[in-house]
């Protein structure tokens, strides 16, 4: 394990803005769920709001990947921060005046999801231009650390603020974090898109990205796995968790602690990946995701809060390890000029089932209760991880930089 190059000043500015906006977004996760519950819409309403946030992400992420490979990625990210910050500010004002109809909550969730569609591919593509190849894993580990830290502090802080004040307060803070993120992004040098030998059309760019995506079995096999996991495992946990917390665990603050345990585990996993470079990164990453199985089972059985928090911590470790290693192997093994498009196909395939999963989880719980969907999610995670590990390319993959 050799020494890694220091983090550049532009990368540090990117990290600072990213950390700030993520903290606000994670606070909003709890606030929005309890805004729905307080308006009397129940778990089904939470499912519909979460689904509404994902539909525009899925619908536009492929186009966003093309634009992120064509335009300055920093500019794309600045525009999305402005749009999401303005949207959250308007929703906060509306909530301060009283209850907001479910359809309106879904609309604002959709605006936030649209911003995510354009931000993520641009971020993945921008990182290699701000750091040396040898420092990619460290840079991604620090990005993952930010996600993890926000997942740790955001839900707990959001749940506390909801209990002490209101969901509107949390949304107002979230709007301010997007402004701070944009200020840090202005300090990042404007990136220049890779020169293009010809002026290709949108469909041509999409086709090139698809060819790059489908030619790598290790990519699409993992994406297929997450399509299944996002149909069952993740929606069951996120939709039914707030309802279980409200009915059996003490309400918003307990749900904030549960989500915070995932964040704490992710912090630990991310810190581990700052120093540890495994020889077979995707084997370690896939094994890490198996920790989601006991987390789902504990919630399904309505175990004591301490048990749910502990299993959530272990699942968070796996998430932190997976996220860092996955983005690193993508950036190291996919050429930079097509990286945002491949990342967009990754995100599209992984998330395309999520709106349906959110909707079904809420509806299914009304018919069979909360236990069955959560146990089904645990089984899906276990079987899909085993299936991915049968793919030879996944087992053999290393972090081997490629030429741009």
* Residues 249-285: tens digit of each pLDDT: 777 778 777 877 887 887 788 777 767 777 888 898 9
Q: Which residues contact 186 (CB under 8 A, 6 or more apart)?
A: 78
Rounded Cα distance, 74 and 219, in Å: 26
Shortest CA distance to 347 belongs to which of 57, 71, 140? 57
Provide, rounded to the nearest whole percent, the portion of the chain with pLDDT above 90: 15
Rounded Cα distance, 288 and 322, in Å: 7
| Residues 330-341, mean pLDDT to the nearest whole number | 78
**Sign of torsion, CA 305 307 308 309?**
positive
Rounded Cα distance, 395 and 32, in Å: 40
Rounded Cα distance, 226 and 241, in Å: 20
Give me the half-sphere count of Cα atoms (radius 13 Å) on the Cβ side of residue 273.
Answer: 37
- CATH number for the domain running over 9-189+202-396: 1.20.1250.20
Per-residue pLDDT at 401 exceeds 70? no
Rounded Cα distance, 374 and 296, in Å: 6
* Residues 47-103: tens digit of each pLDDT: 788 778 878 888 888 888 788 777 888 888 899 989 999 989 998 888 888 777 888
Contact call for residues 60 and 118 (beta carbons, < 8 A) = yes
| Radius of gyration over every alpha carbon of the chain, rounded to an integer in angstroms | 20
Contact call for residues 323 and 147 (beta carbons, < 8 A) = yes
Contact call for residues 262 and 319 (beta carbons, < 8 A) = yes
Per-residue pLDDT at 378 exceeds 60? yes
* Residues 290-302: tens digit of each pLDDT: 999 999 999 998 8
Confidence of residue 176 (pLDDT cuts 50, 70, 90): very high
| Residues 161-174, mean pLDDT to the nearest whole number | 85
CB atoms closer than 10 angstroms to residue 70 = 18
Average pLDDT value for the chain: 82
Provide, rounded to the nearest whole percent, the portion of the chain with pLDDT above 70: 91
Residue with tokens 């089984």: 379
Burial class (CB in 10 A: 0-12, 13-18, 19+), 53: buried
Rounded Cα distance, 81 and 239, in Å: 26
Structural tokens at position 331: 């950036």
Confidence of residue 330 (pLDDT cuts 50, 70, 90): confident
pLDDT of residue 404: 41
Euclidean distance between the first and the last CA atom of the chain, given in angstroms as a whole number: 25
SS3 of 193-262: CCCCCCCCCHHHHHHHHHHHHHCCHHHHHHHHHHHHHCCCHHHHHHHHHHHHHHHHHCCHHHHHHHHHHH
Rounded Cα distance, 325 and 141, in Å: 8
Rounded Cα distance, 327 and 232, in Å: 23
Structural tokens at position 21: 């906006």
Task: Tell me how many degrees the CA angle 306-154-298 measures, rounded to the nearest 5.
Answer: 25
């Amino acid at each position: 394990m050799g020494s890694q190059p220091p983090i550049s000043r532009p990368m540090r500015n990117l990290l600072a803005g990213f950390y700030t906006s993520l903290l606000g977004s994670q606070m909003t996760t709890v606030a929005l769920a309890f805004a729905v519950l307080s308006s009397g819409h129940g778990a089904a309403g939470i499912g519909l709001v979460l689904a509404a946030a994902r539909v525009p992400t899925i619908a536009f992420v492929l186009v966003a990947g093309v634009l992120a490979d064509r335009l300055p990625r920093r500019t794309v990210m600045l525009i999305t921060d402005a749009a999401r910050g303005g949207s959250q500010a308007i929703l906060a004002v509306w909530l301060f005046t009283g209850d907001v109809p479910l359809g309106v909550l879904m609309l604002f969730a959709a605006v936030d999801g649209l911003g995510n569609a354009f931000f993520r591919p641009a971020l993945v593509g921008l990182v290699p231009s701000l750091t040396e190849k040898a420092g990619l894993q460290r840079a991604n580990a620090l990005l993952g650390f930010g996600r993890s830290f926000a997942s740790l502090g955001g839900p707990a802080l959001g749940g506390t603020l909801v209990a002490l004040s209101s969901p509107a307060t949390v949304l107002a803070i979230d709007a301010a974090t997007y402004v701070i993120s944009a200020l840090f992004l202005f300090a990042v040098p404007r990136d220049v898109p890779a020169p293009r030998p010809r002026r290709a059309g949108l469909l041509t760019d999409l086709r090139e990205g698809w060819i790059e995506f489908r030619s790598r079995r290790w990519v699409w096999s993992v994406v297929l796995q997450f399509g299944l996991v996002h149909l069952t495992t993740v929606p069951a946990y996120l939709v039914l968790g707030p309802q279980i917390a409200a009915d059996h665990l003490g309400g918003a603050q307990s749900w904030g602690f549960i989500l915070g345990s995932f964040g704490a585990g992710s912090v630990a996993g991310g810190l581990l990946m700052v120093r540890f470079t495994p020889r077979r990164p995707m084997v370690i990453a896939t094994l890490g995701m198996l920790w989601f199985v006991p987390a789902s089972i504990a919630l399904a059985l309505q175990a004591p809060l301490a048990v749910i928090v502990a299993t959530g911590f272990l699942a968070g470790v796996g998430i932190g390890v997976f996220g860092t290693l996955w983005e690193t192997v993508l950036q190291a093994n996919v050429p930079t000029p097509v990286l945002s498009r491949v990342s967009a196909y990754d995100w599209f395939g992984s998330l395309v089932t999520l709106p349906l999963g959110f909707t079904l989880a809420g509806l299914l719980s009304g018919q069979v209760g909360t236990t069955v969907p959560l146990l089904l999610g645990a089984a899906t995670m276990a079987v899909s991880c085993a299936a991915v590990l049968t793919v030879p390319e996944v087992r053999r993959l290393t972090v081997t930089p490629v030429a741009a």
